[in-house]
Amino acid sequence: MANYNKVILLGNLTRDPQMSYLPSQTPVCEFGLAVNRRWRGQNGEQREETCFVDCRCYGNQAETFNQYMSKGRPVLIEGRLQLDTWEGKDGQKRSKHRVIVERFQFIGAAGGGASQRPGQSQPAQQYQAQAGAPADATDQAPPSAYDQEGGDEIPF
């Protein structure tokens, strides 16, 4: 049976990115994303719900994300779901899904906006996971013909 694990989200950062480093000195950037859904209820009333998602990126991509993103900024991310499990201090087993970011794209005006960090300019728009990321962090198949050909044709 085939498997497929791909997540694409467009939302706003819920907090400033948090940068840290693995023992191997690989950069890790963690951030929260809020994704809104709007619809009309049965009574015609406008409704809205917000989904909060924890995200993580690695390597050069993490450094770039941390440098240019801040709370409230919109971003498009593409990645995969990962389940983290651990035992809490109370002995209870805990788990949480998070998105491991493989690509992201800044959304909004190229010149930034009020939410841009002072003194920083906007970089190129799209970033992809780098080869320097830990194998367990961006464990992904080699690029498909679609990725290599620039996306003009579907490779089947």
91: left (phi over 0), alpha (psi -120 to 50) or beta: left
Question: Mean pLDDT across the stretch 1-9?
Answer: 95
At a CB cut-off of 8 Å and minimum separation 6, what does 129 contact?
Answer: 57, 58, 59, 61, 101, 102, 103, 138, 140
pTM score: 0.69
pLDDT for the residue numbered 112 = 45
Query: What domains can be seen in the chain, in order of their start residue?
Result: 7-148 (2.40.50.140)
Q: If you ran DSSP here, which 8-state letter would residue 66 be given?
A: H
* Cβ neighbour number for residue 24 with a 10 Å cutoff: 7
If residue 61 lies in a helix (H) or strand (E), which one and from where to where?
helix 59-68
pLDDT for the residue numbered 113 = 43
Which pLDDT band holds residue 129 (cuts at 50, 70, 90)? low
